[in-house]
C-alpha cells in the first residue's frame, strides 16, 4: 500500500541533480556518459569502485557518496551488459535489484542513465527494467503508523519515490512502459487483496473492491446469496454456510476484441477469504496465513484490472467465488452430500477440502453463462503441491497440451514458473464415492492430482482447461528481486503474457 513509484523517461542529455545510477560492464568498462562523469569527478567513480572491489560484474553495485564536481549527492555504478541471452524477466529483476538498493541509500529520487560501454538496451528492455523497480518498491503498510517503529524497521525509513530513466528514445520507452505499468498496477491490486486481514476483507468487502474496478473500464456483476441459491450453486454455498459472512460471486467482463461476439477466455479464481477448515478444523499453528486462501481470486481480479487498464484487444471474463469457511452451528458436516450446479452430487468427507467445492460451481457457471473458448482456474488449493514443487513453481494441470505449453512458456518469460503435473483415470477413480457421484477427497496419495481431477469433472467435454495450484506461490513465497511482500501477486504477469502472446487480435 506504499505510494507507487513515480517513473518517467527523459533524453540522455537531460541534466539532473538527483542521485545517479550509471552502468558498468566487466572490468569496469564505462559508457560515454559514465566516462564523462568520471573525468569531471577526477576519477572519483573508478577509484572508489576499485577500492571497493567493484569490477562491473553483472548485478553488482558500487556506491559513491558526494563525488567531487558532480551535481548529484551520490552515484551508483550498476554492473550490467545487454546481451542477446538477457531476457525480459532478467531486465525486470535487474530493475527490482536496483530499486531495492536505492531504497537503502536515503535517496528520494534517482536518475538512471541508460548508457553502456557494450551492447544496447531497447525500449522494451528499459520498460521491463522500470516495471521491476515499480514492483519492488511495493510494501503493505496501511496498518502501520507513519512514524511507528514497526514501519521504520520494515522499510528502513526509505524516501525513494521518483525514478527518472534517461535513455536514447524516451518516447518509445514511455509507450512500452504504459502497458507494463498497467500490469504492475494489477499485481499491486492482487498483493493488496492477499495481504489484507480477513476481518477486513470479507466476501462482501472483496466483492465491493471488485465493484470499484468499474473505473478501470470493467463491467461488473455481483451475485448475492439469493442469486446463488437460484442458480443452485449448492457446492459453493456449502462452504460458507457456517459463517456469518454471506457468499458472493463477482463477475468481471472486459470485451476488448473487435467482435463482442467472439467467445471469451474465462479466468476463475478461488476466493476463500479465510479458511479455518470448517468442522475439519486446521491446526492452530500458522492458521493466520489462511487469510491468503483467496490468492486465486486476487490474481484474477488483478489480471482483469491489468487487461482493462492496458485496453487488451481480447474478450475476457473473470469470475471469483468468494466465501469464508467457518465451523459455525450451520456448518457443513463431514459426510454431508450436496448437489452442485451441474447436477452432480458430492459427498463432503473433509470440509477443509473446500476450494474445489467453490471452483466446481464457478467453473460450471462460467461455461453455462459465457460459453468460453477456454477456462483457466487458479487456487491456493493443496498443501501437497508445496511438498511436490516447493514455492518456486505452481502446479499446472490441463486437458489441453497446446494451452499447457503456452502457459509454461509464459511462466518462463515472466519468471512466474509452472510445472505440469499428471491427471489420470486412476486418480479420477480415487474420488468415486459409494454414496454420491464423487467425494471431495481422494486420500493422502496424489493429493494435488486428485484435487485437479475433481475440478475436471466440472469441465465440459471439448473445453480447453488449465488448473493452476498456486498454494506455494501466491502467499508466503520466497522474497526476490521484485517482491518483498507476503502476498506475491503471482499469476497476474504470467496470464497477462499468455493473453498478449497468443490471444489478442
The set of catalytic residues is: 282, 356
Exposure string (b/e) for 386-420, b if CB count within 10 Å is 16 or more? bebbebebbbbbbbeeebbebbbebbebbbbbbeb
Other C-beta atoms lying within 10 Å of the C-beta of residue 70: 18
Tell me how many degrees the CA angle 109-114-119 measures, rounded to the nearest 5.
155
Partners of 322 in beta bridges:
248, 271
Torsion-angle region of residue 259: left (phi > 0), alpha (psi -120 to 50) or beta?
A: beta
Spatial separation of the C-alpha atoms in residues 121 and 481, rounded to whole Å: 20
Report which DSSP code applies to 59.
T
CB distance 126 to 167 below 8 Å: yes
Of 503, 176, 159, 493, which is closest to residue 316 (Cα–Cα)? 503
CB distance 2 to 139 below 8 Å: yes
Spatial separation of the C-alpha atoms in residues 90 and 105, rounded to whole Å: 23
Of 293, 202, 214, 196, which is closest to residue 253 (Cα–Cα)? 214
Dihedral (C-alpha) 336, 339, 340, 342: value to the nearest 10 degrees?
A: 150
Amino acid at each position: 500500500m506504499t505510494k507507487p513509484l513515480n517513473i518517467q523517461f527523459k533524453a540522455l542529455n537531460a541534466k539532473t541533480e538527483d542521485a545517479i545510477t550509471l552502468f558498468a560492464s566487466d572490468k569496469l568498462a564505462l559508457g560515454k556518459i559514465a566516462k564523462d562523469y568520471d573525468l569531471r569527478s577526477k576519477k572519483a567513480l573508478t577509484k572508489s569502485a576499485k577500492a571497493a572491489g567493484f569490477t562491473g560484474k553483472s548485478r553488482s553495485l558500487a556506491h559513491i557518496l558526494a563525488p567531487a564536481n558532480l551535481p548529484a549527492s551520490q552515484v551508483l555504478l550498476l554492473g550490467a551488459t545487454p546481451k542477446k541471452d538477457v531476457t525480459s524477466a532478467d531486465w525486470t529483476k535487474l530493475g527490482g535489484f536496483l530499486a531495492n538498493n536505492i531504497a537503502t541509500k536515503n535517496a528520494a529520487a534517482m536518475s538512471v542513465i541508460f548508457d553502456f560501454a557494450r551492447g544496447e538496451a531497447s525500449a522494451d528492455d528499459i520498460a521491463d527494467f522500470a516495471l521491476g523497480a515499480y514492483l519492488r518498491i511495493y510494501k503493505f503498510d496501511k496498518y502501520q503508523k507513519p512514524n511507528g517503529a514497526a514501519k521504520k524497521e520494515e522499510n528502513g525509513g526509505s524516501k525513494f519515490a521518483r525514478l527518472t530513466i534517461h535513455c536514447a528514445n524516451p518516447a518509445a520507452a514511455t509507450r512500452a512502459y504504459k502497458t507494463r505499468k498497467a500490469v504492475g498496477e494489477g499485481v499491486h491490486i492482487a498483493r493488496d487483496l492477499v495481504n489484507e486481514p480477513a476481518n477486513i476483507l470479507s466476501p462482501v468487502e472483496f466483492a465491493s473492491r471488485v465493484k470499484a474496478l468499474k473505473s478501470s473500464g470493467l463491467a461488473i456483476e455481483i451475485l448475492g446469496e439469493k442469486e446463488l441459491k437460484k442458480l443452485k450453486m449448492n457446492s459453493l454455498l456449502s462452504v460458507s454456510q457456517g459463517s456469518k459472512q454471506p457468499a458472493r460471486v463477482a463477475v468481471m467482463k472486459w470485451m476488448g476484441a473487435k467482435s463482442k461476439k467472439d467467445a471469451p477466455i474465462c479466468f476463475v479464481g478461488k476466493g476463500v477469504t479465510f479458511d479455518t477448515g470448517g468442522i475439519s478444523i486446521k491446526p492452530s499453528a500458522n492458521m493466520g496465513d489462511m487469510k491468503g486462501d483467496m490468492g486465486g481470486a486476487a490474481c484474477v481480479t488483478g489480471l482483469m484490472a491489468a487487461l482493462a487498464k492496458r485496453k487488451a484487444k481480447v474478450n475476457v471474463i473473470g469470475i471469483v467465488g468468494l466465501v469464508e469457511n467457518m465451523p459455525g452451528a450451520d456448518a457443513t458436516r463431514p459426510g454431508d452430500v450436496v448437489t452442485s450446479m451441474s447436477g452432480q452430487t458430492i459427498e463432503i468427507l473433509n470440509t477443509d477440502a473446500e476450494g474445489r467445492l467453490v471452483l466446481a460451481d464457478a467453473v460450471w457457471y462460467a461455461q453455462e453463462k459465457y460459453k468460453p473458448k477456454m477456462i483457466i482456474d487458479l487456487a491456493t488449493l493443496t498443501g501437497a503441491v508445496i511438498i511436490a514443487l516447493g514455492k518456486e513453481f505452481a502446479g499446472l494441470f490441463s486437458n489441453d497440451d497446446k494451452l499447457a505449453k503456452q502457459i509454461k512458456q509464459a511462466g518462463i518469460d515472466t519468471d512466474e514458473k509452472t510445472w505440469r503435473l499428471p491427471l489420470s483415470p486412476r486418480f479420477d477413480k480415487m474420488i468415486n464415492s459409494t454414496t454420491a457421484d464423487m467425494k471431495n477427497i481422494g486420500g493422502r496419495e496424489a493429493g494435488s492430482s486428485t484435487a485437479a481431477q475433481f475440478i475436471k469433472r466440472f469441465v465440459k467435454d471439448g473445453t480447453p482447461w488449465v488448473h493452476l495450484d498456486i498454494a506455494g506461490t501466491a502467499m508466503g513465497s520466497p522474497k526476490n528481486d521484485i517482491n518483498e511482500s507476503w502476498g506475491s501477486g503471482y499469476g497476474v504477469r504470467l496470464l497477462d503474457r499468455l493473453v498478449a502472446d497468443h490471444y489478442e487480435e
